Amino acid sequence: MKWFDYAAPPTLAEAVHLRSANPRGLPLAGGTDLLVQLRSGTRETDLVIDVKRVPEFNQISYDPTHGLTLGAAVPCYRIYEDPAVRRAYPALAEVASLIGGVQIQSRASLGGNLCNAAPSADSVPVLIVLRATCRISGPGGTREIQVENFCTGPGRNVLRPGELLVSFHLPPPQSHSGACYLRFTPRNEMDIAVAGVGAAVVVEGGVFRWSRIALAAVAPTPLFVREAGERLTGRPATAGNIAAAAEIATAAASPITDMRGTAEYRRHLCGVLTRRALEAAVQRAGEAKS
């Protein structure tokens, strides 16, 4: 690995200043992607800016009126061990416990998962279906953007020079809601998804009020399939309607063939996982208290 300087600023203002003043500087949260990339030489830098000491990147705060604020550098284990997160956002807690293994979870963050912008990033479909927004700070101030608009291509995102992803905001869960993320990997853990699907629904009286579906590893970016969710709005939660939404999700996928699976296989998985994720989300919506 090439030499680089290391800085761990204690405040957001200092982190933004360092990032702006050093165009080749790279932010580090858990380092589980970044250090692998620096070691393999796929990325180079003169300066690593560790954001973990900045309080805004490390916060978890939930209140039932305003929802969840989750710092971009909060490690996965703090997410799935948080009682409020487990209760209000079980799908988020589950996906945090799915990423890597215990060692990776002690470092890896959802901010790093999103900023790395891998098509297979597991947490991104969940953040999308839970309607998460990103809070971004940079030299020009602060802005917000929906998670579904954050990734622009493999390894690319909307961050402008000098900007940092500070935190996520998730609205509070609605009555009669449920969400689920399912992925297929050849091994049970420590492998990236061949395909993954997140689904969130609100079902009242057996009828979909709304639903959102997002896919992993079947397009150049994590993919929000708005039209698949909209197909369900106002319709009964039947197997036929769920299958129709799964067909729309499958049609939206544009997977590649690689060593993990063929494009055709990924498309097939997309349909199966969308159907199952929707069924699980509907079941959870029934269990959710009104």
Ligand X SMILES: Cc1cc2nc3c(=O)[nH]c(=O)nc-3n(C[C@H](O)[C@H](O)[C@H](O)COP(=O)(O)OP(=O)(O)OC[C@H]3O[C@@H](n4cnc5c(N)ncnc54)[C@H](O)[C@@H]3O)c2cc1C
- Interface contacts to ligand X, rule CB under 6 A: 26-34, 36, 51, 72-73, 99-100, 104, 107-109, 111-113, 115-116, 121-122, 159, 164-165, 190, 192
Give CB contacts under 8 A, 24+ apart, made by 47-50: 47/4, 47/5, 47/6, 47/7, 47/18, 47/22, 48/4, 48/5, 48/6, 48/7, 49/7, 49/8, 49/9, 49/15, 49/18, 49/19, 49/22, 49/25, 50/6, 50/7, 50/8
Residue closer to ligand X (CB basis): 104 or 263 = 104
Residue closer to ligand X (CB basis): 155 or 172 = 155
Residue closer to ligand X (CB basis): 30 or 245 = 30
What is the nearest approach in angstroms of ligand X to the Cβ of residue 287? Answer: 27
Residue closer to ligand X (CB basis): 111 or 198 = 111
CA 156 centroid distance within chain: 15
What is the nearest approach in angstroms of ligand X to the Cβ of residue 157? Answer: 8
Helix 263-287 with 239-252: angle, nearest 10 deg: 140
DSSP H stretches of helix in 146-262: 226-230, 239-252
What is the nearest approach in angstroms of ligand X to the Cβ of residue 108? Answer: 4
Residue closer to ligand X (CB basis): 253 or 285 = 253
What is the nearest approach in angstroms of ligand X to the Cβ of residue 245? Answer: 24
What is the nearest approach in angstroms of ligand X to the Cβ of residue 217? Answer: 9
